[in-house]
Amino acid sequence: MLFAPMLSLLGVAVLVNPAVTNQAVCIASGVVLGPIPDELEVTTADGTTFTLSRTQLTHAATIIETGARTPGVGRDGILIALMAALTESTLRQLANASAYPESAGYPNDGDGGDHDSLGLFQMRPQSGWGSVEQLMDPRYQAAAFYGGPDGPNGGSPRGLLDIPGWQQMDKGEAAQSVEVSAFPDRYQNYEPVARAILQALTISSGTGGSGVPGDANIPETTRLVFPLPTGTYVQTSPLGPRTDPITGEPRFHYGNDWAAPDGTPIFALADGIVTYAGMVDGYSGQITVEHTIGGERVATMYIHMWADGIYVHAGDRVIAGQHIGDVGSSGHSTGPHLHFEVHPGGAGAEAVDPVPWLAAHGVEGIDAPTAGGPGCAY
């Protein structure tokens, strides 16, 4: 069975989302995700050439973006994860109807049928990687592969960050240390492909990971506009640690949620350049805009629009108050709302709480949070 994968962040979503805590963790080595190509021709170390589709590249974007959010991963860790997923599934989110018939009911790119393995990294529920529902989520699989103190498995099974000295290992050896495959020598063959993907899907810059070249002309904005019309929204979830409203597990929330009716206009906070506009991971609409505010590069992100509710494209120049999209409920969302993020320093920098930041910059109309309401899982 073949299901179109549901997509959400970071052309990648050209997205770049920061890591949690007080650590300033930029997208790996100052690179940010850019638009996802329709296809990419790649060649393995043994000389085999093939073409990756947009769907496969979208899954690669999920791996990159998840690694960028995870402290300690860096560019090398992302390369290792891409090598592992290429080897295990050729970047396809695979169901396994023979072992788990219910897996075919989740968005997938076909049936793998390898023992009881599932998904991008061919993880096995029986080995403790997660439930069928969890492993049919590409974001969960990527987070599980990276592991670490904030990983979903608590170090068992071990993710990359749980392996002592992984940074000094050969990248294929590091991938094998996570995957524990019966064919440990396969991963190195895909290192050139992983590097080609990372180059094609990211934008290098000297702006600390802003996603816009350092010489890009982003004029100082003259005004700031609240991103939703007055009287249409209610704040339902602030930035910070919380219980994921979908999984019920502890998770850090990277922005602020404002519930609003489906189709409510979303406005650009300030003048700027759109660096990403589209669906991330196939199922969550996102717009990322870079601005110059108070002499500083600042990125804003607007998430959960439906695909037909995005009205700008990467590279567009926008002005403060421009109608750039409509409120939706795509991706990991419990109802129509705007998930809004502010990244002083650019898209690769750490996110800050939008509410005090907006207040400090003279933006009015911010409601106090309610006891609950529509929100999202990230």
pLDDT one-digit tens code per residue, 197-209: 988 887 644 333 3
Are 199 and 249 members of one domain? no
96's CB contacts (< 8 A; 6+ apart) are 103, 111, 112, 113, 114, 116, 117, 118
Query: Greater confidence, 315 or 233?
Result: 233
Q: pLDDT value at position 216?
A: 54
* Range with the largest mean pLDDT of 2-6, 149-153, 181-185: 149-153
Same domain, 74 and 181: yes
DSSP 8-class letter at 302: E
Task: Note whether 165 and 280 are same-domain residues.
Answer: no
CB of 283 closer than 8 Å to CB of 330: yes
252 pLDDT higher than 50: yes
Q: Yes or no: say if 34 and 315 are a contact pair by the CB < 8 Å rule.
A: no
Could you tell me if residue 218 is inside a domain?
A: no
pLDDT tops 70 at residue 29: no
Q: 249 and 130, same structural domain?
A: no
Q: What is the CATH number of the domain that holds 256?
A: 2.70.70.10
Task: Of 34, 80, 47, give the one whose Cα is nearest residue 314.
Answer: 34
Number of Cβ within 10 Å of residue 200's Cβ equals 17
- pTM beyond 0.75: the answer is no
Task: Give dist(CA 375, CA 378) in Å, integer.
Answer: 9
Q: What range does the domain containing 301 cover?
A: 234-361
Q: Kindly indicate the confidence band of residue 220, based on its pLDDT and cuts at 50, 70 and 90.
A: confident
Spell out the SS3 assignment of 229-282. Answer: CCCCCEEEECCEEEECCCCCCEEEECCEEEECCCCCEEECCCCEEEEEEEEECE
Do the beta carbons of residue 148 and residue 70 sit within 8 Å?
yes
- Considering only residues 306 and 239, tell me which one the structure prediction assigns the higher pLDDT: 306
Cα gap 372→202, rounded to integer Å: 36
- 248 found inside a domain: yes
> Do 132 and 263 share a domain, yes or no?
no
The predicted-structure confidence for 153-170, as pLDDT tens digits, reads as follows 888 999 999 999 898 889
Can you read off the two tokens belonging to residue 161?
Answer: 């960050």
- Do 93 and 146 belong together in one domain? yes
- Looking at residue 199, its pLDDT comes to 83
As a whole number, mean pLDDT of residues 331-351 equals: 87
Return the amino acid letter for 101: P
Whether 219 is covered by a domain: the verdict is: no
Evaluate whether residue 215 is within a structural domain: no
Q: Could you tell me if 312 and 179 lie in one domain?
A: no
What number of CA atoms fall less than 13 Å from residue 64's CA on the CB side?
38
Considering the domain boundaries, does residue 67 fall inside one?
Answer: yes
238 and 355 both lie in a single domain: yes
Q: Give Cα separations from 185 to 49, 174, 176, 190 (angstroms).
A: 19, 11, 8, 10
Asked whether residue 270 falls in the same domain as residue 337, the answer is: yes
For residue 172, give every residue at least 6 positions away whose Cβ sits within 8 Å of its Cβ, in sequence order, or none: 83, 184, 185, 186, 187, 188, 189, 191
Show the tokens assigned to 353: 């709480």
Collapse the DSSP code of 284 into the 3-class scheme (helix H, G, I; strand E, B; otherwise coil) and give the result: strand
Q: Within 13 Å of residue 124, how many CA atoms lie on the same side as its CB?
A: 13
Examine the domain organization and report whether 197 and 57 are in the same domain.
Answer: yes
Is residue 137 situated within a structural domain? yes
Band (9; pLDDT cuts 50, 70, 90): very low
On average, the pLDDT of the chain sits at 82
Q: Would residue 164 count as lying in a domain? A: yes
Q: What is the pLDDT of residue 203?
A: 63
Tokens of 144: 């599980």
Q: Are residues 169 and 301 in the same domain?
A: no
State the Cα–Cα distance between residues 212 and 207, nearest whole angstrom.
Answer: 7
pLDDT in tens, 359-378: 999 987 676 555 455 555 44
287 phi and psi, to 5 degrees?
-125, 130
Q: Is residue 194 part of a domain?
A: yes
- 138/268 same-domain check: no
Per the structure, how many domains does the chain have?
A: 2
Residue 11 clears pLDDT 60, i.e. is over it:
no
Q: Which of 151, 180, 203 lies at the terminal end of a domain, its last residue?
A: 203
